[in-house]
Amino acid sequence: RTTLPPPTPTRTNFLFSSNNVHSSIMVKAVVIGAAGGIGQPLSLLLKMSPLIDDLALYDVVNSKGVAADLSHIASPATVTGHLPADDGLKSALTGANIVVIPAGVPRKPGMTRDDLFKINAGIVRDLATGIAQNCPEAFILVISNPVNSTVPVVAEVLKKHNVFKPKRLFGVTTLDVVRASTFTAEVTSEGADPREFTIPVIGGHSGVTIIPLLSQSKPSVNLSQEQIEHLTNRVQFGGDEVVKAKDGAGSATLSMAFAGYKFAEAVLKAVKGESGIVEPSYVYLPGVPGGDEIAQSVGGVDFFSGLVELGADGAKKIRPLGNLSDYEKKLLDAALPELKGNIQKGVSFVTEGS
C-alpha cells in the first residue's frame, strides 16, 4: 500500500485577494442560524462541499448538537459549534472567509416578509456588528428576510465601522432563480430538465419586487401572454405557496438550503479562480462596477438584484439588464416604489435607530 504524502495547504488572513487566487487556498465558512430550518440542511451541504475546510456553526440554541452530528460525516471539513456563551460569535467568526446568515424568524400564513422586519432587523444588525469586529474581509451572504431591507441594514452597520466592502455583500435571491427554472420547465415541455433553463430574476426578494425575465430565458421559450403572467405570478409568490402549505410551521427551508448552497458555491468557485460565473444577487449598486448604469436605468435605487459576474474579490461587475419586454418594463415600474421603501426602512433603522 502506498501512503500518500499529506497535503500542504496554505492559510493566510487575506486568502481572497485577487493576487492570491489558488485552488489550494483554505476556506472557513460560517453559518449563523445554523440550528434552524434552513441552517441545518445548508450546513449539511457545506459540510459535503470540497470547497470548504472549516465549518463553524453559530446559533442561539443547539448549534453544538448540529455540529456534533455533522462532524461524523466522512468529508474533509472540520465542524465546530458555537453558542452566545463564552464569546461564541467571536470564536465562530474569527478567520471566516464566508459567512452565510439564515438567522431570524420565518413567516406564518397571512404575513408579508416586511412583517418580519421588527425582529429580524435587530438580529441582523447585531450579527453584522460581530462581522465588522471579527471578520470584516469575509464574503457575507444574507438570507434573513426581508432581504430587501436586511441587506441595507448590514451595509449601514459595516459603513459605521468603516469596513464596508460592497463587492463582498450579497442578498441571496437564488431561490427565485431556482423557482423560475423549475416552474418554466414544468410549463414548457413534458420531461424538460429544469437545470437546463437559465432565467435571470432581477429587482428584489418580495412579491412584486421579484421580476423574472422570461424573455431572456436560455434556451428561449415560446410562451403565450397568459403563460408568462401565470409563471411570473408563481415566481413572485412562490414563497407564499410554501408558507401556505406548511400551515404555520414556517417557510421554505430545504429549497432555500439548496439555493443558498448554490450561491455560496458560486462565490467560492470564483474566489478559487473559476471565471465566467454569473449569478443574480441583491447588491449595493454604487459599490459594484456597472451598478451606476443600472441605478440610472431603474430610477435611482441603491440596492438591486441583477446579474452579477463573480470574481476573486466578490462581485466583479453587474451586467446591464438587457432588453426587457413591455410586460417586464411594467413589472419593473410596479416593483420600484416598494423596493425603494424597503431599502429606506433598512437604512433608517441603522442611521436613525428606527
Catalytic sites, residue numbers? 205
**Smallest gap from residue 118 Cβ to ligand LMR (A):** 15
Size of the site for ligand LMR (CB under 6 A): 11
Helix (H) or strand (E) holding 32: strand 28-32
- Residue 1 cell numbers, joined: 500500500
How far is 307 from 322, CA to CA, in rounded Å? 10
**Does 166 interact with ligand NAD (rule: CB under 6 A)?**
no
**Does 175 interact with ligand NAD (rule: CB under 6 A)?**
yes
**Does 203 interact with ligand NAD (rule: CB under 6 A)?**
no
Nearest residue (CB) to ligand NAD, 16 versus 183? 183
Residues within window 56-85 making contact with ligand LMR, judged by CB under 6 A: none
Torsion, Cα 34 98 177 50, to 10 degrees, reads -90
| Contact between 210 and 235 (Cβ < 8 Å) | yes
25 DSSP 8-state letter: B
Which distant-in-sequence residues (6+ apart) come within 8 Å of 7 by Cβ? 24
Among 49, 80, 134, 145, binds ligand LMR (CB under 6 A): 145
How far is 39 from 195, CA to CA, in rounded Å? 24
Count of other CB atoms within 10 angstroms of residue 158: 23
Site pattern 74..113 for ligand NAD (x: CB under 6 A): ----------------------------xxxxxx------
**Does 342 interact with ligand NAD (rule: CB under 6 A)?**
no
Q: Is 234 annotated as a binding residue?
A: no
Q: Is 138 annotated as a binding residue?
A: no
DSSP result, 42-98: HHHHHHH-TT-SEEEEE-SSSHHHHHHHHTTSSSS-EEEEE-SGGGHHHHHHTT-SE
Q: Is 39 annotated as a binding residue?
A: yes
From the list 180-188, 248-256, 271-279, 287-295, the region that binds ligand NAD by CB under 6 A is 248-256
**Smallest gap from residue 18 Cβ to ligand LMR (A):** 33
Which distant-in-sequence residues (6+ apart) come within 8 Å of 78 by Cβ? 53, 54, 55, 71
Q: Which does 204 bind (CB under 5 to 8 A by kind): ligand NAD, ligand LMR, none?
A: none
Residues within window 149-178 making contact with ligand LMR, judged by CB under 6 A: 175
Q: Is 19 annotated as a binding residue?
A: no
**Does 59 interact with ligand NAD (rule: CB under 6 A)?**
yes
Cis peptide before 7, with omega less than 30 degrees from 0?
A: no
**Smallest gap from residue 284 Cβ to ligand NAD (A):** 17
Which distant-in-sequence residues (6+ apart) come within 8 Å of 64 by Cβ? 81, 82, 83
How far is 168 from 160, CA to CA, in rounded Å? 16
Site pattern 264..303 for ligand LMR (x: CB under 6 A): ----------------------------------------
Nearest residue (CB) to ligand LMR, 97 versus 209? 209
Q: Is 59 annotated as a binding residue?
A: yes
Nearest residue (CB) to ligand NAD, 25 versus 171? 171
Helix (H) or strand (E) holding 293: helix 291-297
- Residue 116 cell numbers, joined: 418580519
- Residue 118 cell numbers, joined: 421588527
Q: Which does 243 bind (CB under 5 to 8 A by kind): ligand NAD, ligand LMR, none?
A: ligand LMR
**Does 251 interact with ligand LMR (rule: CB under 6 A)?**
yes
**Smallest gap from residue 208 Cβ to ligand NAD (A):** 16
- The residue among 266, 279, 286, 280 whose CA lies nearest residue 343 is 286
**Does 215 interact with ligand NAD (rule: CB under 6 A)?**
no
**Does 253 interact with ligand LMR (rule: CB under 6 A)?**
no
Positions in the binding site for ligand LMR (CB under 6 A): 106-107, 113, 145, 175, 238-239, 242-243, 251-252
Binding site per annotation, positions: 33-39, 59, 107, 113, 120, 143-145, 179, 256
